[in-house]
Amino acid sequence: MPTLGIDLGGTFARAAVVDAKGNIIASAKMALGERSPSAVVESIAHAAKAAVDTAGTPVQGCGVGAAGQIHGESGVLAVAPNLGWRNVPLGEMLRTRLGYPVRVVNDLSAAAWGELNAGAGRGSQDMYTVFVGSGVGSAIIAGGRLVTGGGGVAGELGHIKVVPNGRRCGCGELGCLEAYAGGHNLIAQTRELLATGRSQVLKELTGGDPARVTPVTLEQAAEAGDAEAREIYERASLMLAVAVANQVTVLNPARLILGGGVLTHCPGIRRRVVEGVQAFASTTSREGLLISDAELGDDSGLIGAALLA
Amino acid sequence: MPTLGIDLGGTFARAAVVDAKGNIIASAKMALGERSPSAVVESIAHAAKAAVDTAGTPVQGCGVGAAGQIHGESGVLAVAPNLGWRNVPLGEMLRTRLGYPVRVVNDLSAAAWGELNAGAGRGSQDMYTVFVGSGVGSAIIAGGRLVTGGGGVAGELGHIKVVPNGRRCGCGELGCLEAYAGGHNLIAQTRELLATGRSQVLKELTGGDPARVTPVTLEQAAEAGDAEAREIYERASLMLAVAVANQVTVLNPARLILGGGVLTHCPGIRRRVVEGVQAFASTTSREGLLISDAELGDDSGLIGAALLA
């Protein structure tokens, strides 16, 4: 019987009815209005009902991928920064509202599970997935099982320290990988450079408008030979490359899956990460390693959540 | 029924009959003579027979912890540098010789499994074990299961890159953590400093004899205020601390177990690693983290191998 997958972001809840092979039968999307837990549960329930009604088939369980920290198998969302939540028993609330068994996992874990079972990781048991979007995250699958960690927050690659006491990260700590190489911080660093007025290339690319800066702008400025843009760009790429390579060394995955907006839209950064894994991961750990791009795009979390149900 | 554990090092084979709780009933040790696979299998078989005879109880299976790279569950020792072996089907050879089912795992995995079930990790499901001895290694247990990696070499913390294109490591690669912070390389760096003649403190501590240099000598020289010794020492300690902290961030273990000669005999390095985990691991990943020392010493591998049988 199909299952229901929920992808809970900061602005939308998406729901999909998914078959056992990971095909989406029907889906629905609902904007989140008020962010109180009960209002969000209602939004999810509406999206779920729409998806189930469209599919015209009963479902036997529900999986939820949510951005935030989930405490083990409890279904409790300990911290969800996008929603401003702390210790919300989302699993239990949804179980009561929907009448299905509900499992709540981290959104990147759900996405990795989707890729493992219906995307780029098919046939694999040991897979490491790295997402570089506005932030930097990862998910570990070992022996065919999701590694969640003792506190449910395994995979926080963005918050490893690459410069002890370095640049301040959005998490409040200093020197995190994300503070240098996450999309949000790539934009911030590029805007800082634009604001100095020293980069003619950046001025031309953006018309002087900081709002037009994206990670792609930085890649273009670096490729156009702007020395300071290049420094930010090469530093971020090298840090990402070494960080990913080091996780390949420690985890020895059979597959490395790359996803997220920055790796998708900045081919130069993606190339440096791939080449960096070849250069910096230990020889034995990358024997037989297959590197590929995530295949399911935005649907990976929905599909993975449903398959985890 | 008890099982048999084998610890296969570079110079000795040890065997122990171990009960289901991880208590050693009897053990035996056999020096390795010739290093050919068949000769080593004979040495193991002798040690095994001695242990079983002494215990006076039948055993129902055998686990082997061996220094080297093991291909998954095949029992094939792909690379064993200490023995100069490549692709030796140790599991099958021992099964034939001993008449028990045999499971072969990496020596650090066996040691971690011992600590999990009968030592410092008891009661834990998510545990990260770091050994700093002559080399630097680690073992990951997630959800109560050993993480071996796709190629059987997960845990190679010593070969993450801490200085891209830095100091040459014994593995042939550049800039590995082990090249700065492994005991063998702490000694090498201290000897290099001694050879310059610039360090009066080192001269006094060793009588000028490079053979008397140990990691403890380096710690003593650093604590005595020798600036160059202190630089080597603090750099190594910081690199270890950040590396371990970053794995705590990514793996989110409930327990961190520290073992190996350097961490046991150099309390200053151990303290810097513990403080570094507090300083550099992400706040969420170290909530509830328990840090402790390995408890079983040299027996952890024997006990773990037996319990994995």
ipTM of the complex: 0.94
Give percent above pLDDT 70 in chain B: 100
Half-sphere exposure of B70 (CA within 13 A, CB side): 25
pLDDT of amino acid B190 = 98
* Tokens linked to A153: 């927050």
B/e letters for A231-243, b = 16+ CB within 10 Å, e = fewer, are ebbeebbbbbbbb
For residues B72 and B105, which has the higher predicted lDDT (pLDDT)? B105
The stretch B67-80 carries a mean pLDDT of 84
Kindly report the nearest CA distance between residue A243 and chain B, in angstroms: 9
pLDDT for residue B170 is more than 90: no
The C-alpha atoms of residue B52 and residue B42 are separated, in whole angstroms, by: 15
Q: Which of A125, A160, A255 sits opposite B250 (nearest CB)?
A: A160
Show residues of chain A in contact with B138, CB under 8 Å.
250
Residues from chain A that touch B283, judged by Cβ atoms under 8 A, are: 171-173
Tell me which chain A residues have a C-beta less than 8 angstroms from the C-beta of B254.
149-151
Long-range residue pairs from A29-35, CB within 8 A, at least 24 positions apart, any chain: A35/A83, A35/A84, A35/A85
CB contact under 8 A, B150 and A246: no
Task: Give the pLDDT confidence score for residue B174 in this predicted structure.
Answer: 96
Residue numbers in B near A130 (CB within 8 A): none
Ordered domains of chain A (ranges, CATH)? 3-116+299-308 (3.30.420.40), 124-293 (3.30.420.40)
pLDDT for residue B115 is more than 90: yes
CA distance A53 to chain B (A): 37
Smallest Cα distance from B43 to chain A, Å: 28
Whole-number Å distance between alpha carbons of B107 and B134: 14
Cβ–Cβ below 8 Å for A176 and B282: yes
pLDDT in tens, B204-261: 999 999 999 999 999 999 999 999 999 999 999 999 999 999 999 999 999 999 999 9
pLDDT value at position B11? 87
Q: From the first residue on, what is the mean pLDDT of each consecutive set of 10 residues in chain A (309 residues)?
A: 93 95 96 93 96 95 91 84 89 95 94 97 96 95 95 94 94 94 97 97 97 98 97 98 98 97 97 98 94 95 96
Residue whose C-alpha is closest to residue A104's, from A128, A72, A127, A80: A72
Nearest to A147 among B142, B173, B285 (CB): B142
Q: CA of A70: which chain B residue's CA is closest?
A: B284
**Token pair for B199:** 């360090």
| Residue burial A40-67, b: 16+ Cβ < 10 Å; e: rest | bbbbbbebbebbbeebeeebebbbbbbb
Residues on chain B touching A152 (C-beta within 8 angstroms): 252
Read off φ and ψ for residue B82, nearest 5 degrees. Answer: -60, -30
Binary contact (A153, B288; C-beta < 8 A): no
Average pLDDT of chain B is 95
On chain B, the residues whose CB falls within 8 A of the CB of A245 are: 160-161
Q: Which two tokens stand for residue B119?
A: 């030592």
Are B154 and A142 in contact (CB < 8 Å)? yes
Nearest CA in chain A to B251: A154
CB–CB contact A246 B161 (8 Å): yes
Whether pLDDT at B304 is above 80: yes
Question: Is the per-residue pLDDT at B72 higher than 80?
Answer: no
Least CB-CB distance to B155: which of A69, A173, A250? A250
What integer pLDDT is reported at residue A74 of this predicted model?
85
Q: What pLDDT shows up at residue A192?
A: 97
pLDDT score, position B79? 82
Find the CB nearest A153 among B150, B242, B284. Answer: B284
pLDDT score recorded for residue B179:
96
CB of A24 closer than 8 Å to CB of A59: no
Distance from CA of A66 to the nearest CA of B (A): 16
CA–CA dist B177, B242 (Å, integer)? 10
Q: Which helix (H) or strand (E) holds B306?
A: helix B300-308
Note the pLDDT of residue A63. Answer: 97
CA distance B50 to A184: 64
Q: Burial, A137: exposed, middle or buried (Cβ in 10 Å; 0-12, 13-18, 19+)?
A: buried
Helix or strand run (H / E) with residue A78? strand A77-80
A249 with B156: Cβ contact below 8 A = yes
Considering only the beta carbons, identify the residue of A143, A161, A251 that sits closest to B145.
Answer: A143
Residues in chain A within 8 Å Cβ distance of B69: 284
Q: Could you tell me what percent of chain B has a pLDDT over 90?
A: 89
Per-residue pLDDT, averaged over B70-93, amounts to 88
Whether the CB-CB separation of B166 and B174 falls below 8 Å is answered with: yes
Distance CA B191, CA A155 (A): 39
Q: What pLDDT, on the 0 to 100 scale, is given for residue A146?
A: 95
What was the pLDDT predicted at A68?
83
